Amino acid sequence: GAVVSQHPSWVICKSGTSVKIECRSLDFQATTMFWYRQFPKQSLMLMATSNEGSKATYEQGVEKDKFLINHASLTLSTLTVTSAHPEDSSFYICSARPGQNTGELFFGEGSRLTVL
């Protein structure tokens, strides 16, 4: 199956700093990638849809100035958590899929962010 790689797996940062998370499709081109956040004991919540060469589409309630998404190539999308605060501490995971709309998602390994 297709492979999606996410980096870093975990990161600890100080409050007020910015953190960048990378999501790469290793063996396919992804014009669209998805960023999810998961709080403990909750489901994966879609934050935004990353579109190659254009602006990301953010879900309601997700601050686009807080969570900057860049999808500059067909194999790389980045999520930058700007001026992170403890309430941003969470598990972030990306996904992408080659092919048609009913196709399965391929996920990265996820990134655990802890903001001190």
Partner 1 sequence: ILNVEQSPQSLHVQEGDSTNFTCSFPSSNFYALHWYRWETAKSPEALFVMTLNGDEKKKGRISATLNTKEGYSYLYIKGSQPEDSATYLCAFIVTGNQFYFGTGTSLTVIP
Binding site for partner 1 (CB under 8 A): 1, 4, 32, 34, 36, 41-46, 49, 93, 101-110
Residue placing its CB nearer to partner 1 in the complex, 32 or 89: 32
DSSP secondary-structure letter at 70? Answer: E
Residue placing its CB nearer to partner 1 in the complex, 64 or 85: 64
Residue placing its CB nearer to partner 1 in the complex, 45 or 68: 45
Q: Say if residue 5 is exposed, middle or buried (CB neighbours under 10 Å; 0-12, 13-18, 19+).
A: middle
Q: How far is CA 57 from CA 22, 54, 105, in A?
A: 18, 9, 18
**Closest approach of partner 1 to the CB of residue 103, in Å:** 7
